[in-house]
Structure 1
């Protein structure tokens, strides 16, 4: 099992979810060609100025392509970029031989865990298939984490998976992508119930991220508030971490605008709770080194 790195109690600001990419690499199949926002190259030098301005100490760099090559690309960035505290990568759960890849990657101290791109998998029950269970078992064995990327329709299966592996550290990405832009009482109630079950029946964490992307182009803080309030209510600050989802967030707003909105959404909480959401929770969950 991978050695546990202890995180000392200190005030730290962490962006728990961001990306770098170069579309010319050719493995971002989800990315529209010639998109004025997404198809640009994004490097550390593009993000560092805003991190410095906002006083953010570090980031978690998350995969955006279903290839081990991209994971290697991100680890290379992390090795030369002090503010990248860790990397969430990818391996092929449909290839049991990729256990060796996980074991090898886990030797890099900045490799934190993996994110299967479940939102893009047609088979709704993929995560419960017998042939992919080795992957979740290996994450437990190696002390690595799982970023749960999906939509509300995946919540029941994610809950079943998390309960199957109670020792697996899981964080729900982007609040499981609720339909903020197409809000209805029924869709909100269904999402809210599913999230409450995940929070109440498992030890999973949740990222306060991706919300503006799921909202309309003319989103307001009030549009986001019911969803943020519910996440904070059912998970609590010790299990909620803020992430920018930059540069995807640029589809709706700049980094600073989303950061300001998230600060507004959490302004009613105490200082200790805000410190957890904007740094402490991510540092503890991902076992980041100060």
Structure 2
């Protein structure tokens, strides 16, 4: 065991009552939430905006330089663009980058070409599903088209990521109940807010979503939601326990998934800190919980592919 792993093990062992020794590092880690994009393309990008720190070329090699020191060599990309052809741009990137084991794209169920586009991209095994962001697709509106789109995803064996405020969670639970064959992943903690000042409706609505067995929770965006100067989120895992403990109590060991949200996560803290927080927490839960969180649960939810 090297010095880094020794220190991480020692730290993890102090977090939870009754834990005297943390589990070893996970044997495999899949980062299920990265964004790659290139503003230097002739057509540019719809996100991020010019003049922001995120407005730069971000590619797999940049992520690997941060992730590989932690033993993280594989990722599921989540859409960063609502442009239909940017789905193909990521799939083309994945042809060259074997670290990409899955891609969650962006297709609007309100688009008349939704079914055609979904069938087109679903032919590629790297394409694992789509994400509906609350600023683009409200699942509590146009319910007929949303439900039809969700059923079509399930038909293709694909999954659905959802990103939105806590008020979205009961609607996500209803969608999960209406389409029980659809695997739904809630992004970014369901927008909990700062761990020390959680949004009042968050805890209750998390419980509602967790009651549906086909709903998973991605433990991402922990540091970005902290109220602090940019990049100065606390490093202490204990700071995040109000969120982590509630998710553990509601979703349990089988439906929590690792995702960094890099490079957006840099707004809160470095990749090292983002990983360190969840590494300490889940290794303190034991070997099996650690393995499930870092890769086994994501295989269930995303059905990502092995690359050779």
Shared topology, TM-score over 0.5? Answer: yes
Cα drift, residue 96 of structure 1? 3.1
Query: Does residue 1:270 correspond to 2:281, yes or no?
Result: no
Indicate how the Cα distance of structure 1 residues 223 and 238 shifts in structure 2: closer, same or farther if over 3 A, else same. Answer: same
Contact 1:22/1:42 (8 A) holds in 2: yes
Query: Does residue 1:214 correspond to 2:228, yes or no?
Result: no
SS in structure 2 at match of 1:214 = coil
Instruction: Give the length in aligned residue pairs.
Output: 274
Cα drift, residue 22 of structure 1? 1.6
Contact 1:172/1:207 (8 A) holds in 2: yes
Question: What are the equivalent positions in structure 2 for 1:54-133 lying under 5 Å apart?
Answer: 54-118=70-134, 120-121=135-136, 125-126=140-141, 129-133=143-147
CA RMSD of aligned residues (A): 2.0
Question: What are the equivalent positions in structure 2 for 1:172-251 lying under 5 Å apart?
Answer: 172-180=186-194, 183-184=197-198, 187-188=199-200, 190-217=201-228, 218-220=232-234, 221-251=237-267
Contact 1:27/1:66 (8 A) holds in 2: no
Query: How many Å separate the matches in 2 of 1:67 and 1:133?
Result: 22
Runs of at least 5 residues in structure 2 that lack an aligned partner in the other structure: 1-25
Query: How many Å separate the matches in 2 of 1:109 and 1:122?
Result: 25
SS in structure 2 at match of 1:213 = coil
Runs of at least 5 residues in structure 1 that lack an aligned partner in the other structure: 1-9
Cα drift, residue 236 of structure 1? 1.3
Query: Does residue 1:280 correspond to 2:293, yes or no?
Result: no
Query: How many Å separate the matches in 1 of 2:94 and 2:105?
Result: 12
Query: TM-score scaled by structure 2?
Result: 0.83
Cα drift, residue 124 of structure 1? 6.9
Contact 1:147/1:172 (8 A) holds in 2: yes
User: Where does residue 33 of structure 1 map in the other structure?
Assistant: 50
Query: Does residue 1:146 correspond to 2:160, yes or no?
Result: yes
Cα drift, residue 58 of structure 1? 0.9
Q: Mark the structure with the bigger radius of gyration.
A: 2
Query: How many Å separate the matches in 1 of 2:268 and 2:246?
Result: 22
For 1:137, which of 151, 154, 158 is the aligned residue? 151
Contact 1:94/1:131 (8 A) holds in 2: yes
Deviation string 1:137-178 (CA, Å, 9 cap, x unpaired) is 110111110001111121121111111111111111111111
Of Structure 1 and Structure 2, the greater helix share is in 1
Indicate how the Cα distance of structure 1 residues 211 and 239 shifts in structure 2: closer, same or farther if over 3 A, else same. Answer: same
Deviation string 1:47-98 (CA, Å, 9 cap, x unpaired) is 1222321111310011011121211111111111011001000112111322
